Amino acid sequence: MQAGALPAVPYNLARLGVIMRKDPESELEREGVLNPASARGRDGTPYLLPRLVAPGNESRIGLAKLIVDNGEPVAAARESVVLEPDAHWEKAPDHAGVEDPRVTWVENLSRYIMAYVAYGPLGPRAALAASSDLRDWQRLGPVHFEYDSSMALDLNVFDNKDVVVFPEPVRGPDGRPSYALLHRPVWDVRSVFGGGEGFVPPSLGDDRPGIWISYAPAAEVEADLSRLAHLRGHKPVAQPEFAFESLKIGAGTPPLRVPEGWLLVHHGVTLAGTGATRGEGPQGNVRYCAGAMLLDHEDPSRVIARTSGPLLEPEVAEELEGTVPNVVFPTAIETIEGSTFVFYGMADSAIGVARLQHT
């Protein structure tokens, strides 16, 4: 079924406001607090794990307890830094970072699984870490994608971001229960090699970055947690289809099980309109919005519903002005006191929160 013929997603987002800003007195976050993960502690306490950006665009991941008032998160109390760019594959000659975390509690593994972007010598790469308490994290390493002979495709060659982990096993391509991860490869390799026109695998018909799914057999992962970082069965899930996502799309929040299937709040990118604030660098003239899609519960590689327009778009000052203007970038979703909230980066500078509502 073509995406344009799919049903609408029966959810919307209602903006609540800014929940976390940078502390200008802290060297570790002087350049911004953005794009957080979220999780509930073993005792039920809700937390954010924000990306903290220091001068030189060096990113770390922090831990902050959410302050809830009258059933809504209203602020976040900083506790500590829980992941720093300490591994050699998280450091480039002029840049270092552990960026844009997404955290999923996986009951079968009794672990929180963090997917994050490791910015190393070859640019941004997907990486995983695991924790039992949100504070001490064991690196599982950069994600390794098994070579796919049917598509003559080696995903390890390309930049990859926007990785999210499903909270329970699903049916893999071979029928076995498997852990599934969504990710977003980028076919342009100019950032690594310099110059040129980039490279698109010949098996693909669309060079725009889209959402893919890959799998790790549950039995292998439950016997050896490190196997979660070794993925196979790669398959495209969704490409850009609508005006608000004409340049690229990527997974946003970890998938949430809802009655209709798996709800994925994603981001879509297009060019900013005339009169929009223009930033510097390659992201200076783009606009990020939040959309959503529903994936089939049994086969999450199949999209069953999709928004044709944004659920949340840059409209308030914190979203329109910042390090990267015109950005709503959803990365976390959490149910608190019976309501579900989406947390998102605002112009790469602050963190906002919106309520998810069924329509």
**Can you give the CATH number for the domain in which 69 is found?**
2.115.10.20
pLDDT at 274 over 70: no
Please report the pLDDT score of residue 2 as a whole number.
Answer: 43
Please report the pLDDT score of residue 285 as a whole number.
Answer: 85
Tell me phi and psi for residue 274, to 5 degrees: -60, 135
Q: Are 213 and 234 in contact (CB under 8 A)?
A: yes
Q: CA gyration radius for the chain?
A: 19
* pLDDT band, very low/low/confident/very high, at 283 (cuts 50, 70, 90): low
Please report the pLDDT score of residue 275 as a whole number.
Answer: 56
Q: What is the pLDDT of residues 88-132, one digit of tens each?
A: 999 988 888 999 999 999 999 999 999 999 998 888 999 999 999
Amino acid identity, residue 33? Answer: V
92-96 long-range CB contacts below 8 Å, 24 or more apart?
A: 92/119, 92/120, 92/121, 92/123, 93/121, 95/56, 95/57, 95/58, 95/119, 96/58, 96/59
Please report the pLDDT score of residue 1 as a whole number.
Answer: 35
Range of the domain at 319: 3-358
What is the average per-residue pLDDT within 59-80? 98
Please report the pLDDT score of residue 88 as a whole number.
Answer: 93
Question: How many domains does the chain contain in total?
Answer: 1
Looking up tokens 């327009």 gives 309
